[in-house]
Amino acid sequence: MTIEAILNYVSTLLMAGWIGLLDYLAAHVLLCLVPAFFIAGALTALVPKEAVTKYLGPKAPRLVSYPAAAVGGFVLAVCSCTILPLFAGIWKRGAGLGPAITFLFVGPAINILAIAYTGAAIGLDIAIARIVLSIVFGIGIGLIMAAVFRNGAVVEDAGLFAGEARIRPAIWAFFGLLVAILITGTLQVDALTGSWFTVTLPVDVPAGLVTTLAGLSLTLQGALLIGLLVLIAGAAWLGLERVTEGVNRWTGATLALVVGTLLVAAPRLDTSGSIVVGFTGRFFVEAALLVALGLVAVRGLERHEIQDWLWETWRFVKQIFPLLLVGVFGAGMFRVIIPAQWIQTLAGENTLFANLLGVAFGVFMYFPTLVEVPIARMFLDLGMARGPLLAYLMADPELSLQSILVTSRLIGWKRNLVYVGLVSVFSTLAGWLFGLALAAM
pLDDT tens digit at each of 441 positions of the chain: 688 778 888 888 888 888 778 777 776 567 777 887 888 788 778 877 666 666 776 667 788 888 888 877 666 655 666 676 667 766 765 667 888 888 888 877 777 777 887 888 888 899 899 889 989 998 999 999 988 887 544 545 555 555 556 778 999 899 899 988 988 887 778 888 888 988 888 877 787 887 888 777 778 888 888 899 999 999 999 999 999 999 999 999 999 999 999 999 889 888 777 788 999 999 999 999 999 999 999 999 999 999 999 998 998 888 778 877 877 787 778 777 877 788 888 888 899 999 998 888 877 666 666 677 888 888 888 889 999 999 998 888 777 666 777 788 778 888 889 999 999 999 999 999 999 998 887
Nearest Cα neighbor of 184 from 278, 268, 282 is 282
Pairwise CA distance, residues 32 & 192, whole Å: 14
Pairwise CA distance, residues 14 & 18, whole Å: 6
Which residue type occupies 326?
V
Q: What is the 3-state secondary structure (H, E, C) of 45-98?
A: HHCCCHHHHCCCCCCCCHHHHHHHHHHHHHHHCCCCCCHHHHHHHHHHHHHCHH
Residue 221, Cβ density class (10 Å: 0-12 exposed, 13-18 middle, ≥19 buried) = buried
Residue 355 makes CB contacts below 8 A (sequence gap 6+) with 387, 388, 391, 427, 428, 429, 431, 432, 435
Pairwise CA distance, residues 265 & 218, whole Å: 14
Pairwise CA distance, residues 79 & 248, whole Å: 30
Using CA atoms, how far residue 405 sits from 45, 94, 270, 399, 401, in Å, is 30, 22, 52, 10, 6
Pairwise CA distance, residues 102 & 100, whole Å: 5
Residue 120, Cβ density class (10 Å: 0-12 exposed, 13-18 middle, ≥19 buried) = buried
Pairwise CA distance, residues 99 & 106, whole Å: 10
In this structure, what are the phi and psi dihedrals at residue 396, rounded to the nearest 5 degrees? -55, -45
Cβ atoms within 10 Å of 307's Cβ, excluding its own: 20
Compute the half-sphere exposure of residue 206: CA atoms within 13 Å on the CB side of its CA: 4
Record the pTM. 0.73
Beta partners for 275?
A: 201
Most distant CA pair in the chain, distance: 74
Cβ 361 vs Cβ 410: under 8 Å: no
